[in-house]
Structure 1
């Protein structure tokens, strides 16, 4: 079967299953899925659902979602319309079908400026909130993005295309269709047509110096790009030019950098000297040699991995006509798509930046994720009382791993894979961050959207990892899964409650989980996550408590403070969480009886750590013996040559170097492996610095 047709059928089945579970129609369930996809892809940060169908002055209006950040100086208003069809085979959509759908978004914007239209909408509806927002914030809107999400196949093949203006506000459009969705699911690649044609589309080729020899593993260049040209490129592609981890970092710091702004305004000719410039990657480049040197003609899938604030600040200065004498240095490395996952985060991590970013901000390949992935492939989840076999929870550290693991198997092997890793037990980095920050009582941060929340968790976990990575052990992973089970159970139940009126399920769920954790802590108790892990479901007592908390969360979220009409914006405020935290919830008595003492949870951790130490000792000894004495002698020699060994380290490695004549103890083997890993990290860092 054709890959696209197979994905179409899987998508339809998945969306119909989600719709049944959440009590939604299929188009709504599809839009819920696309909300996370658009956020992770950098298309729309923290999209709000907003269903409206109607007419104004005989013109049809439709809108399904929008994105707007009043604190973001770029002033981008994103409007989303959904087109979902249930069919046996994938359907096509052409330009003539796309245009009238996007026109309905334009009609809504025009109608929002009419007081008669706004007065005709129910004041508590999300459509009123959006139309009121457009009318009040219009002076701040600098660009409008029209986005169509559909499970059809787009035959127009146009992306980020300018389609005119509304007043003096430029408008662009793009389409997320079935094939683009499949690319994203498989590998995170959403824009195979993102080609920056410097020579033809953006004012001319860019002069470059080749910075790599013929034997180098990667082709590298130093470029000098005019500020106006960089601003024009960013104006078209926006945050999609920013490598994902840089994007999530910048979203927490989206104010224009004052130092950069002042240099552009007061000393533009000194920008090159004062600014560190950009670090970028591309999958392929076209470089031509002309009379006076080399020129960059085009770059495929250009990604700025460092210098995002420089780029955004230059773009902000564009309309002030201050970029005439601004030149920006760009270090460009050509990295093929099959190497990008491993190499790009490393470039991000080590690149110099005016705003210091630590390793936690470049989190895709952080050891934390590698460890969680290792646990997810090894740790068997109990069969619980609802299953007849043990399964595993598949953690997707890098986008596309699940599809790749499943896709490279034969039909028979896929059945075995599906039994071992049920689709319902698949979760991503942004899912992990959602569960973790909800449990950490930060639902207002979760409500900011997948990427901003991920950046927040990355910084917190990165710091904790630096302090001591031992806490992130197998038990931590199991308790994470317990948090996921509670969270997902709430997601399933909330839409079916009599008090639920739809629209804010995601906010209610994260607030409810945070609330029961908070209220347990107020009584100096904690949830019994180990019980949830053993049962692989939520006990009925905890479930009822979650629903009581969810009802209270719905009440608080649905009633913003005076002067704030936008419910989803209210949910992003710490004040919203403070109000819920202070709200009394009438839990049943047995909820508090089901909680456990923190000391009991710590005792389980101590036992788990002791068991893990025994396993680590056995594994380390097996590794040391398998490697052999010559291997350890090599590390001993290297460590002494670079002066990185203490007398104790030398003694341990000397003992291991005598294998098999002498067998080191388990404790010595654990230490030897740790010494080896430390020396290896030093060697890699030194090699990269030289390169």
Structure 2
């Protein structure tokens, strides 16, 4: 409980800091922070704030947000309500408190389905937007999810509960409380309560064949899963069943496979031989012995790492071919992976198993070399203190959920204070943050507006392709310029809510559009935004702030005036046409904007200077290593290289200089050359690692 109390204090401090910096209400800052976790956890694909409240007690109506267009999430309409306590003291609530919190959201849904309620609202108000969306999409809605998010501790036992249907549409509610968010922040997991209980909930234990020997590193099983059971499981937990990184990757690809649907409709009995089946992982599996042999009675934290389209297609059949599901069977390969090995094992299972979409693990997993390199820079690159501050600091990149809170938690109280100075919480950023910074500056605000996960999927594919072509561009200077973009993005986030023209709502859209516009207009006519000066100062100049806010106001105007036939502003912001409108608009930023720019020639000069510094550092390190290895070592290299006939005249000359240490000291360039020869001889098998341990 002490950890939970500390987590609450830190969370409230973060919320207050964001609220104070941005001038928004604390509950809005809470909503932004919490829904970012919900999308990362797979509970939602996206989350838009849409606050509305009216009435009292039995007539009270309230909504805090929604999860985008249900047509983009298999017909699931998700609505969010916040239960937010301003105290730093841990508070609890139970199942008896749920009606008081949830009923206002239910009343909102009931009223939002009527044109009378919608038309009584201002068209630009978030409540109008949600109501119009509900009315427009209701024929396509297959399920309603009501999500209660709270910074209190829920002491009830229910995770997801089914309510009465609404005109034939099933309605469920679920709770994300403080403990659940703490688990997710610390370990990236919030699924301890996702137990697939075949014995009691899904038709009985499943016959299984154990596919691993006793004492094997990992337990494995083969199962034949009836289509009805798989559809029912997915209907209950939805996208939470799909391994997070694979889900992110697949969101950017084709919708549910039409070929799979065709097989279910026309030849369901052939589904098994036609389909490749599922690859899945679990944290634990419980087995029972039956008259027919081994069977699995329950699976803890099931994750489908390959077979998202198959699963989605079978679930969709509940609506269009329910009777056919009785003849559908799908094979599943199930591997039990302990949580501490998840990051190591699951990416490999996904990469090797997924063939239909040619999934490349390099596209999205947190252990891709790109993320590891950015993490390395974030722990080592020091940024000078801002004007008026005393301490230099670093920007902490969290390539996997829980790194920051865990690294801080391992320290003593005094060392935690040092950690906070070295890595201020305000300078923490995640993979999805990085994707927002980069795609905003690259002119993709409509992609950013589609939500953190879809935006990251787009960024991941792009970075994977670029990395494969040339990884050298992602050097320390690239990282420093990334931080400059982060500073610009967060400056906009803080300043937009303070503007007189800002009426609330759509801040995230305005921010990414304004940043994209500034970079688009600034990077013209041999000019570019001067990121290097922002990196040095660790702040945005007054001139650039003014220009950013001019762009933000214009972005607000474009977003709040969609084209004919488009009434939902959030959906409008996701369209290329919205960005094209803003991109084409001429904006007068004032005379000060020129001071924020630099020549593209200077940008290139800085890049060349950075590469030269890297070469100098590499040369110094090579010389240091050559001297450290010593004359006897290099004499042995010369001897074995000559015996094998693998040395050129130049090779022998430079290696002999190294063999004369300390009488002669090789230059940095000679040292680098000698080490290259050494690596070549090892690759040829002339030298072994044991003989030439570097």
TM > 0.5 fold call? yes
Name the counterpart of 1:87: 87
Structure 1 residue 408: Cα displacement: 0.8
Question: For 1:600, what is the secondary structure of its paired residue?
Answer: helix
Name the counterpart of 1:530: 532
Structure 1 residue 191: Cα displacement: 1.8
Name the counterpart of 1:465: 467
Q: Structure 1 pair 213/495, CA: closer, same or farther in 2 (3 Å)?
A: same
Structure 1 residue 193: Cα displacement: 0.6
1:363-408 CA distance string (max 9 Å, x none): 3211100000011111111224332221111000110000000001
Name the counterpart of 2:480: 478
Structure 1 residue 55: Cα displacement: 4.2
Question: For 2:450, what is the secondary structure of its paired residue?
Answer: coil
Q: Is contact 2:132–2:568 with CA below 8 Å preserved after alignment?
A: no
1:445 counterpart (436, 444, 447):
447
Q: Structure 1 pair 324/182, CA: closer, same or farther in 2 (3 Å)?
A: same
Name the counterpart of 2:392: 390
Name the counterpart of 2:552: 550
Q: Give 5+ residue unaligned stretches, structure 1.
A: 633-646, 680-691
Question: For 1:665, what is the secondary structure of its paired residue?
Answer: helix
**CA separation in 2, counterparts of 1:508 and 1:72?**
22
1:476-527 CA distance string (max 9 Å, x none): 1111001001111111111111111111111111111100110122333211
Q: Is contact 2:383–2:394 with CA below 8 Å preserved after alignment?
A: yes
Name the counterpart of 2:158: 158
Structure 1 residue 613: Cα displacement: 2.5
Structure 1 residue 238: Cα displacement: 0.3
Question: For 1:522, what is the secondary structure of its paired residue?
Answer: coil
Structure 1 residue 110: Cα displacement: 1.2
Q: Once structures 1 and 2 are overlaid, which stretch shifts more, 227-236 or 666-675? A: 666-675
Question: For 1:435, what is the secondary structure of its paired residue?
Answer: helix
Match status 1:328 vs 2:330: yes
**CA separation in 1, counterparts of 2:240 and 2:630?**
49
- State how 1:194-593 maps to structure 2 within 5 Å: 194-253=194-253, 255-319=255-319, 320-321=321-322, 322-593=324-595
**CA separation in 1, counterparts of 2:238 and 2:271?**
22
1:152-198 CA distance string (max 9 Å, x none): 11011321221221110001111111111111111111121111112
**CA separation in 2, counterparts of 1:599 and 1:360?**
33
Q: Is contact 2:443–2:519 with CA below 8 Å preserved after alignment?
A: yes
Q: Once structures 1 and 2 are overlaid, which stretch shifts more, 125-134 or 452-461? A: 125-134
Q: List 4+ stretches of structure 1 deviating above 4 A.
A: 55-58, 617-632, 658-664, 670-679
2:614 counterpart (612, 615, 618):
612
Structure 1 residue 592: Cα displacement: 2.7
Q: Structure 1 pair 104/384, CA: closer, same or farther in 2 (3 Å)?
A: closer
Q: Structure 1 pair 295/671, CA: closer, same or farther in 2 (3 Å)?
A: farther
Q: Structure 1 pair 111/433, CA: closer, same or farther in 2 (3 Å)?
A: same
- State how 1:29-68 maps to structure 2 within 5 Å: 29-55=29-55, 59-68=59-68
1:597 counterpart (596, 599, 604):
599
Q: Structure 1 pair 100/594, CA: closer, same or farther in 2 (3 Å)?
A: closer
Q: Is contact 1:276–1:352 with CA below 8 Å preserved after alignment?
A: no
Structure 1 residue 149: Cα displacement: 0.8
Larger radius of gyration: 2
Using structure 2 for the length normalisation, give the TM-score: 0.90
Q: Structure 1 pair 496/671, CA: closer, same or farther in 2 (3 Å)?
A: farther
Q: Is contact 2:496–2:511 with CA below 8 Å preserved after alignment?
A: yes
Q: Is contact 2:632–2:659 with CA below 8 Å preserved after alignment?
A: no
Match status 1:26 vs 2:26: yes
Structure 1 residue 291: Cα displacement: 3.9
Structure 1 residue 212: Cα displacement: 2.0
Structure 1 residue 207: Cα displacement: 2.2
Name the counterpart of 2:671: 665
Question: For 1:171, what is the secondary structure of its paired residue?
Answer: strand
Question: For 1:427, what is the secondary structure of its paired residue?
Answer: strand
**CA separation in 1, counterparts of 2:625 and 2:241?**
43
Q: Once structures 1 and 2 are overlaid, which stretch shifts more, 212-221 or 409-418? A: 212-221
Q: Structure 1 pair 113/599, CA: closer, same or farther in 2 (3 Å)?
A: same
Structure 1 residue 344: Cα displacement: 1.4
Structure 1 residue 648: Cα displacement: 9.4
Aligned length: 662
Q: Is contact 1:51–1:126 with CA below 8 Å preserved after alignment?
A: yes
1:4-59 CA distance string (max 9 Å, x none): 11111222222112111111121111112122122111112221111111249963
Q: Is contact 2:350–2:359 with CA below 8 Å preserved after alignment?
A: no
Name the counterpart of 1:642: none
- State how 1:6-17 maps to structure 2 within 5 Å: 6-17=6-17
Q: Is contact 2:77–2:145 with CA below 8 Å preserved after alignment?
A: yes
**CA separation in 2, counterparts of 1:341 and 1:620?**
34
Q: Is contact 1:360–1:461 with CA below 8 Å preserved after alignment?
A: no
**CA separation in 1, counterparts of 2:503 and 2:447?**
23
Structure 1 residue 631: Cα displacement: 13
Match status 1:141 vs 2:147: no
